[in-house]
Each structure stands twice: as C-alpha cells, then as structure tokens.
Amino acid sequence: MKLLWALGRLLTLLFWLVVLVNLVMPFVHPLHLLVNFGAAMLLAIHLLELVLFRASLRGRPASGRDRLRVLLFGIFHLQTLPVAAEASHA
C-alpha cells in the first residue's frame, strides 16, 4: 500500500510540475486552459482537505510543514500521517 501512496505522490508532483511549465511557457490554446482549470480544481480540493482535516493537523509538531504538504500532495500525504488512537466508548 505504501507503494501506491508513493506513486500517487509522484504523479501529483509531476502534475504540479506540468502546471509550473504551463505558467512559464503556455501550451497551445485549448490545452493551457485545461491545465489551468485542472490546477485550480486540484488546489480547491486540497484546500477543502485542509479545512476538513485541520483538527488532526493541529496537534502535530511540524503542522505548518504538514499543511504545505497537504496543499501539494493532498490525501496522499494525509494517508501517511500516523492515526491517533480513538477514544473508547464504554
């Protein structure tokens, strides 16, 4: 399973590199709009993940770095974080 998360992180990083190349040297007409739209949607999803998982990121020692990684990798970074033990309901 770790291989799957690492592959997802690699593909997400490659997508962000494509977005940066598109910003510096725009692709042909319809393609550059699609890349920009995809980047905006992915950024919106990652911002939503930050809002939804802010409680689990709050108590971490390097929470700022974790937030930056969530913005970059999204759920692929959240899945690598250790899970806190759930409270027992007796």
Q: Is 65 part of any domain?
A: yes
Res. 55 pLDDT band, cuts 50 70 90: confident
What residue type is assigned to position 44 of the chain? Answer: A
On whether residue 82 sits in a domain, the answer given is no
pLDDT in tens, 66-82: 889 888 998 888 787 77
Task: Count the domains in the chain.
Answer: 1
Domain membership of residue 49 (yes or no) is yes
| Range(s) of the domain holding residue 58 | 2-77
Given a cut of 90, is residue 41 above it in pLDDT? yes
Please tell me the pTM assigned to this model: 0.80
Task: Please state, in angstroms and as integers, the Cα–Cα distance from residue 41 to each residue in 45, 53, 83, following that order.
Answer: 6, 18, 27
Percent of the chain with pLDDT over 90: 46
Would 90 be classed as within a structural domain? no
Please, which pLDDT band fits residue 84 given cuts at 50, 70 and 90? low
